[in-house]
């Protein structure tokens, strides 16, 4: 199999052109002192995506919603305007007003938009009858195709006209991504309704359609525009950026950052990935995040490209760009650095702790599960760390619920084999619902892309966030280039998880599963 074609462009939204570098587009490079001043003086952006761009507060959200409503009417009412220019100006007025509002005003308007403009453009019943008549009484396929188009158009909600007009504006695509972020925020905070959900899903499908053929891959460097670097901090969702020095390290020698940019918003990454160039596959993310910048010559000796974080804008949830981004970056790195032999991730297990909490139910504290495969000596070592504990599950729950357990080296040593085995079991055996897909969303993403589960890493992320979501557990997914297509097909077909490497805990889980057959 020719592995090179796996990472060539087969989609119209991608190209084989090398990525442009934002820094190369600047007439005068952004100096370190300038960027430090920018970080020192920049306002901190709220973690809530629903506050994007909000600069004013409305005393009467309903009045603002009414003003926005009137502008929408002008956009969707074909008789209320003359010419595309007038429609574009009205759509721009809408965007300008929307961006200045606070969360309350935006929420009130989105609720109004989802309810009052969800009606179809035309009379669907008449269009449906015409379509059925054309298929029953006409021998002309073109007539049926025309009526099918009329039917689809009649079923399209009115707010589609608003979205279409905004998408035609400069940076309109980015505005719609942020607008969908507000919709998702409203859904998450208890404002969920079938109308809001339907509008969010409709806009998601529109974004997915519009994005084809509009993306450019760029390498983001220390000399990229400050506004682009600010977005890295704002949208990073895996390993939080603490300061401008974090960014400088992540963009230094031995590091790479690549992102997809929409051509109408060339300085705002829609999705981006951080890459570390290393000698070996790392088992700890702090060694990447906190390592001092390496000399430029070290890149020539690197053997591994490690994808340690990938983040996209919230408004693009369920728009699959990550798969394309990783494959494009692999293609670029293979061309730029032929010394790189391994393409691997260092990935979190975002739902491991919540799964473990359910596993350690009151019933299991008395009668532990028997399908994990924890040895008797591992159970006894864990129990010995908690006076009075009768089972390994009770001892483990006591330890993980205890504040400061990471400062007890003997407890950490006793927990390691148990947690690593539980992690291997969780990744390979725990499924989503009644299907065959991995329950962990990050695992499902990489396995669908064709990677191999390589290794489970104890104390892979010792930050507060890492300990809280997975007790510090991380794992590596290895993109073995000549196995990617077969791995992906097998996983999608029946949930088969490809394995690489010799992780003893993954091997134990596999052996236990084979013994039960």
Pairing state of beta strands 474-478 and 452-457?
antiparallel
Residue with tokens 């134990």: 508
CA distance 214 to 206: 13
Is 390 domain-assigned? yes
**pLDDT at residue number 514:** 83
pLDDT of residue 7: 46
What is the per-residue pLDDT across 169-178, written as a single tens digit (0 to 9) for each? 989 999 999 9
In the prediction, which pLDDT does 154 show?
A: 63
Residue 91: pLDDT over 50 = yes
Residue 54: per-residue pLDDT: 45
Looking at the chain, the number of H-run helices and the number of E-run strands are 22, 9
Weakest-pLDDT range from 98-107, 140-149, 368-377, 461-470: 140-149
DSSP class of residue 188 equals I
CA–CA separation, 143 and 134 (whole Å): 7
> Is 40 contained in some domain?
no
CA torsion sign for 107, 108, 111, 112 is negative
Residue 53, Ramachandran bin (φ over 0: left; ψ between -120 and 50: alpha; else beta): left
332 and 386 share one domain:
no
Residues 386 and 473 both lie in one domain: yes
CA nearest 108: which of 194, 195, 201, 186? 186
At 29-70, the pLDDT tens digits run 333 334 334 434 444 333 334 444 444 445 677 888 889 989
* DSSP designation for 292: P
170 and 294 fall within a common domain: no
Q: Would you say residue 121 has pLDDT above 60? A: no
Q: Are residues 146 and 200 in the same domain?
A: yes
Give the CATH number of the domain where residue 204 resides: 1.20.140.90
Q: What average pLDDT does the structure give for the chain?
A: 84
Query: How confident is residue 122, by pLDDT bands cut at 50, 70 and 90?
Result: low
| Positions marked active-site | 347, 446
Mean pLDDT over 63-84 rounds to: 79
Among candidate residues 210, 225, 244, the one where a domain is terminated: 210
Confidence label for 132 from pLDDT (cuts 50, 70 and 90): low
Out of 152-166, 226-240, 262-276, 442-456, pick the least confident.
152-166
pTM exceeds cut of 0.85: no
Pick left, alpha or beta for residue 113 (phi over 0 → left; psi -120 to 50 → alpha; otherwise beta).
alpha
Residues 237 and 125 reside in one and the same domain? no
Which tops the pLDDT comparison, 120 or 251? 251
Taking the C-alpha atoms of 166, 200, 450 and 507 in order, what is their torsion angle to the nearest 10 degrees?
150
Neighbours of 458 (CB within 10 A): 18
Q: Classify 101 in phi/psi space as left (phi over 0), alpha (psi -120 to 50) or beta.
A: beta
- Same domain assignment for residues 74 and 101: yes
As for how many domains the chain has, the answer is 3
**Residue in 75, 157, 146, 164 with CA at minimum distance from that of residue 124:** 157
- Whether residue 300 lies inside any domain: the answer is yes
What CATH number should be reported for the domain holding residue 258?
A: 3.40.630.150
Residues 498 and 363 in one domain: yes
User: And the tokens for 206?
Assistant: 């529109």
DSSP assignments along 43-57, one per residue: PPPPS-GGGTT----
Task: Identify the pLDDT of residue 133.
Answer: 63
* Matching residue, tokens 């969908």: 180
The reported pLDDT for the residue numbered 193 is 76
Mean pLDDT of 72-83: 72
* Domain identity same for 196 and 57: yes
- 51: Cβ contacts below 8 Å, ≥ 6 apart: 45, 102, 103
pLDDT bucket at 131, cuts 50 / 70 / 90: low
- Based on the domain organization, do 247 and 386 belong to the same domain? no
| Residues 353, 471 contacting (CB under 8 angstroms) | yes
Q: Is the pLDDT of residue 366 over 60?
A: yes
Residue 41 in any domain: the answer is no
pLDDT, tens only, 179-200: 999 999 999 887 567 899 999 9
What pLDDT, on a 0 to 100 scale, did the predictor assign at position 217?
A: 95
How far from 405 is each of 264, 386, 464, CA to CA, in Å? 50, 12, 13
Beta bridge partners of 274: 257, 309
- The reply to whether 110 falls in a domain is yes
Domain boundary pick from 313, 345, 377: 345
Length of the chain: 517
DSSP string, 94-155: HHHHHHT--HHHHHHHHHHHHHHS-SBSS-HHHHHHHHHHHHHH---HHHHHHHHHHHHHHH
Q: Structure tokens of 204?
A: 């998601």
Q: Does residue 225 share a domain with residue 181?
A: no
Query: In this predicted model, what pLDDT tens digit does every residue of 355-364 receive, in sequence order?
Result: 999 999 999 9
* Residue 43 falls inside a structural domain: no
Task: Tell me if 344 sits within 8 A of 305, measured CB to CB.
Answer: yes
Structural domain boundaries enclosing 125: 49-210
495 and 370 inside one domain: yes
Q: Judge if 195 and 246 occupy the same domain.
A: no
Give the model's pLDDT for residue 22: 47
Q: Residue 208's Cα: distance from chain center in Å?
A: 14
Last residue within a domain, chosen from 345, 370, 401: 345
CB 384 within 8 A of CB 414: yes
pLDDT band at 136 (very low <50, low <70, confident <90, very high): low
pLDDT confidence bin for 81, thresholds 50/70/90: low
For residue 260, tell me if it sits in a domain.
Answer: yes
- In-domain check, residue 44: no
């Amino acid at each position: 199999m020719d592995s090179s074609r796996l990472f060539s462009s087969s989609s119209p939204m991608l190209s084989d052109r090398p990525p442009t570098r934002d820094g190369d587009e600047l007439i005068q490079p952004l100096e370190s002192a300038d960027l430090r001043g920018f970080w020192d003086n920049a306002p901190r952006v709220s973690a809530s995506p629903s506050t994007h761009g909000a600069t004013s507060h409305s005393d009467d959200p309903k009045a603002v919603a009414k003003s926005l409503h009137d502008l929408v009417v002008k956009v969707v009412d074909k008789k209320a305007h003359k010419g595309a220019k007038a429609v574009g100006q009205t759509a721009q007025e809408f965007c300008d007003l929307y961006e200045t509002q606070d969360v309350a005003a935006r929420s009130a308007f989105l609720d109004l938009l989802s309810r009052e403009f969800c009606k179809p453009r035309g009379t669907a019943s008449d269009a449906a009858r015409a379509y059925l008549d054309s298929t029953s009484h006409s021998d002309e396929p073109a007539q049926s195709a025309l009526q099918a188009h009329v039917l689809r158009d009649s079923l399209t909600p009115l707010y589609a006209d608003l979205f279409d007009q905004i998408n035609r504006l400069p940076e309109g695509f980015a505005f719609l991504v942020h607008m969908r972020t507000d919709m998702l925020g409203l859904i998450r905070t208890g404002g969920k309704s079938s109308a809001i959900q339907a509008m969010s899903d409709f806009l998601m499908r529109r974004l997915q359609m519009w994005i084809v053929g509009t993306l450019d891959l760029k390498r983001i460097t220390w000399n990229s525009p400050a506004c682009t670097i600010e977005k890295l901090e704002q949208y990073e969702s895996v390993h939080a950026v603490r300061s401008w020095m974090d960014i400088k390290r992540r963009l230094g020698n031995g590091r790479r950052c690549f992102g997809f940019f929409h051509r109408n918003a060339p300085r705002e990454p829609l999705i981006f990935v951080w890459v570390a160039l290393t000698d070996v596959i790392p088992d700890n993310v702090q060694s990447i995040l906190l390592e001092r910048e390496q000399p430029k010559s070290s890149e020539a000796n690197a053997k591994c490209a490690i994808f340690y974080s990938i983040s996209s804008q919230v408004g693009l949830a369920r728009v699959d760009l990550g798969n394309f981004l990783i494959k494009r970056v692999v293609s670029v790195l293979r061309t730029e650095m032929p010394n790189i032999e391994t393409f691997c991730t260092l990935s979190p297990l975002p739902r491991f702790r919540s799964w473990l909490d359910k596993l350690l139910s009151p019933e299991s504290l008395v009668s532990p599960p028997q399908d994990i495969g924890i040895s008797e000596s591992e159970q006894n070592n864990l129990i010995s760390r908690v006076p009075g504990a009768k089972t390994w599950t009770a001892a483990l729950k006591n330890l993980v619920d205890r504040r400061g357990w990471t400062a007890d080296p003997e407890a950490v040593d006793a927990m390691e084999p148990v947690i690593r085995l539980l992690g291997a079991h969780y990744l390979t055996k725990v499924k989503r619902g009644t299907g065959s897909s991995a329950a962990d969303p990050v695992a499902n993403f990489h396995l669908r892309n064709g990677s191999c589960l390589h290794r489970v890493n104890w104390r892979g992320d010792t930050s507060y966030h890492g300990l809280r979501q997975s007790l510090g557990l991380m794992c590596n997914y290895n993109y073995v280039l000549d196995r990617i297509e077969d791995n992906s097909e097998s996983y999608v077909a029946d949930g088969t998880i490809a394995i690489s490497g010799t992780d003893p805990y993954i091997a134990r889980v596999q052996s236990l599963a084979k013994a039960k057959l």
